[in-house]
Structure 1
Amino acid sequence: MGHKEDLLEGAKKCLVEKGFVRTTARDIVGASGTNLASIGYHYGSKDALLTQAFIALMQQWGETAFQDGMPGADGSLERLRALWEGVLAQHDTSAPVWAASMEVALSGERLPQLRGMLAASQAEGRRGLISLLTGTPEEELTERDERTLGSVCQALLNGLMIQWLLDPGTAASAEEFTEGLRRIAEGLTAAAGGSAGRPLEQTR
């Protein structure tokens, strides 16, 4: 690997071990066997490098969690439950990454550049979640899809992971989480006078 790839691997290691805030440029250099000048040359800044490392870790998480595909019909409760099962199956390895992202989210204005970079990467995460749930290719999704179904899926994912970060012993299982969502959807459908059991659909 070249310095660019070495830096990314080193940043991923530091992110898992120390999080965003405590990781210094020298930490990344030490973990990657490169030099300080390489960070600016290849990524522009330490924060930009850490953001790329975070995105790479999340992509690896998704590929590992769902490498065997997703069971159930597109948009079905079975598919929804499989999504949460895949998420929770990787909890031990993904927890440090989620904790690091929460660290940035709660940093206030102390890390404005890093917060901005991570916020900009959210759209990619939303598209990935929609695609996993509905079976729709990411390139076919619209901005409206991202801001509606994508935002809700992302909020649910973040909330579930916070439960597990705080107390895995009392956090909801995939089955319990899915059942809770089913009951909410059932109540909303009944209130609207629709038919129960309607599969999840994209909002166009």
Structure 2
Amino acid sequence: MGHREDLLDGAKRCLLEKGFVRTTARDIVKESGTNLASIGYHYGSKDALLVEAYVSLVQEVGDHYGPGWGAGGATQAPAGSLERFREVWSNIIRSVPESRAIWLLSFELILQGDRVPEVRKLLAATQEEGRSGIVPLFTDVPEADLDAETVDTEGRLYQTLLQGLMVQWLFDPGTATDADQLTEGLRRVIAAVEQARGR
């Protein structure tokens, strides 16, 4: 493994232990066994490295969101169905214990983003990437084949649901919305729309 990978791994560990605000370049160097000059050479800045480390952590957790994960990987409901909707949200909720620290990082940025403006700016630029990454879980359309309108509408819907759900599960898992409730809510919305069309 080279310095670039060592830095990324060290930055991930620092983020999970200290968060964005408290992680210094020296912390990352100590954790990765590299040197300060390596950060600038490979990533341009400490902030850029922290953003890449955070995105990498989110992607690793996101690998568990897809259909077929969990429950032995035996099921995979049809794309676009309510069953697929429920399956993906069940997987997301199932991953909460292992992804809790990563979601807390997200909320650290919301609450203390003024202290790390460059990090917040860089992460804001990755929002579209997040939206395009979540849509295929529900549709089976490869990310590269998604059109901008789908990403900007369906992607935003799923991203908003994900963020709201994580707030609930971080705040109070005992009262947080589960996949069945979310799916039943969507089913009722669809039924009401269909009923309104039939009038």
TM-score w.r.t. length of structure 2:
0.90
Q: Give unpaired runs (5+ residues) of structure 1.
A: 195-204
TM-aligned CA deviation for residue 108 of structure 1: 4.9
TM-aligned CA deviation for residue 130 of structure 1: 0.7
> What are the Cα deviations for residues 108-144 of structure 1, in whole angstroms up to 9, with x where unaligned?
5332211111111111111121111011111111111
Distance 2:129 2:49 in 1: 17
Distance 2:28 2:194 in 1: 51
Does the residue aligned with 1:57 lie in a helix, a strand or coil? helix
**Which AA in structure 1 matches 2:126?**
S
Pairing partner for 2:111 from 103, 106, 109: 106
Q: Give unpaired runs (5+ residues) of structure 2.
A: 70-74
TM-score w.r.t. length of structure 1:
0.88
Q: Is 1:159 matched with 2:152?
A: no
TM-aligned CA deviation for residue 107 of structure 1: 2.9
RMSD over aligned CA atoms reads 1.8
**Structure 1 residues 145-154 or 11-20, which shifts more?**
11-20
TM-aligned CA deviation for residue 67 of structure 1: 7.7
The percentage of counterpart residues that share the same residue type is 53
**Which AA in structure 2 matches 1:157?**
L
Distance 2:28 2:192 in 1: 50
Paired positions, count: 194
Pairing partner for 2:85 from 77, 80, 86: 80
Distance 2:113 2:50 in 1: 18
The 4+ residue runs of structure 1 with deviation greater than 4 A are: none
Where do residues 13-32 of structure 1 align in structure 2 (5 Å cutoff)?
13-32=13-32
Contact 1:16 1:96 in 2 (8 A): yes
The residue aligned with 2:43 is 43
Distance 2:32 2:55 in 1: 18
Q: Is 1:119 matched with 2:124?
A: yes
> What are the Cα deviations for residues 85-125 of structure 1, in whole angstroms up to 9, with x where unaligned?
11111111111111111211233533221111111111111
